Amino acid sequence: MPPDVRVKICGLSDPQTVEAAAGAGASYVGFVFFERSPRNLSVEAAREAAVAAPLGVAKVALTVDPTDEQLDEILDRVPLDMLQLHGRETPERVAEVRARFGLPVMKAVGIAGREDVEKLDAYGAVADQLLVDAKPAPGGPLPGGNGVAFDWRLVANRRWPVPWMLAGGLDAGNVAQALDLTGARQVDVSSGVESAPGVKDPERIAAFIRAARGPAIPSLR
């Protein structure tokens, strides 16, 4: 795979796993602010983890339908480079958050069928990046991080006005195939590099990044 593929490791919970992700070559590290997620962090825990990220690694806050007050609380304490909106935010709300908080915004869109793919055009007009994820099952507790893939052919070699990132059910065993099929140049993983829900495994992180970017990525061993 091309070495210019950019990898986001989401749902990190402590300085050690942030350092492991950065050391393995991650371009982004993500912190989850969603109480129902096993990866949810307090603001203080997120701050401690975020300050461990070296320069050049983008720190991303995953939020779900956040209020302005919630975003204020996070941004007052946690050094961040990007906001990820992973709920049912409208294009108008995405534009509002982007303007109010002055940070790039990545909007996640769940994909199950062609009708979902069509939504990406509207969000691509107002967000700085798109996260193309698997759509959760109706009534599911989590909007993402479920370890489920969607039919990658739905977005094969598609382009939008802004960069996009592929997510949903990726792991070291399938990420190369996903990149080849879709033409994506950015990927996001969370549960695919865990030993248990919410527990990141440094070896699995390194294996995923090697698989995504090719054998030039060093092993932790």
* Environment class of 137 (CB within 10 Å of its CB; exposed 0-12, middle 13-18, buried 19+): exposed
Q: pLDDT tens track of the chain, all 221 residues?
A: 455 899 999 999 999 999 999 999 999 999 999 999 999 999 999 999 999 999 999 999 999 999 999 999 999 999 999 999 999 999 999 999 999 999 999 999 999 999 999 999 999 999 999 999 998 765 555 554 546 789 999 999 889 999 999 999 999 999 999 999 999 999 999 999 999 999 999 999 999 999 998 754 444 43
Residue 163 and residue 129 in contact, taking contact as beta carbons nearer than 8 Å: yes
Nearest Cα neighbor of 184 from 154, 145, 146, 156 is 156
Nearest to 161, CA basis, from 122, 188, 103: 122
> For the chain, what are the domain ranges?
6-213
Identify the burial level of 220 via C-beta atoms within 10 angstroms of its C-beta, where 0-12 means exposed, 13-18 middle and 19 or more buried. exposed
Q: Supply φ then ψ for residue 94, to 5 degrees.
A: -60, -45
The active-site residue, picked from 72, 133, 171, 201, is 133
Residue in this structure with the two tokens 């958050």, named with its chain if needed: 97
CA distance 65 to 149: 23
For helices 68-77 and 43-50, the axis angle rounded to 10 degrees is 40
Q: Is 10 among the residues known to form the active site?
A: yes
Its pTM stands at 0.91
Active site residue 133: yes
183 contact partners, CB below 8 Å, separation of at least 6: 156, 157, 158
Q: Which CATH architecture has domain 6-213?
A: Alpha-Beta Barrel (3.20)
Q: What count of other Cβ atoms lies within 10 Å of the Cβ of residue 211?
A: 23
**What type of residue sits at position 61?**
A
Tokens of 211: 């698989």
DSSP code string of 132-150:
EEEPPPTT-S-SS-S----
Backbone angles phi, psi at 208, to 5 degrees: -65, -45
Q: Tokens standing for 113? A: 């069928």
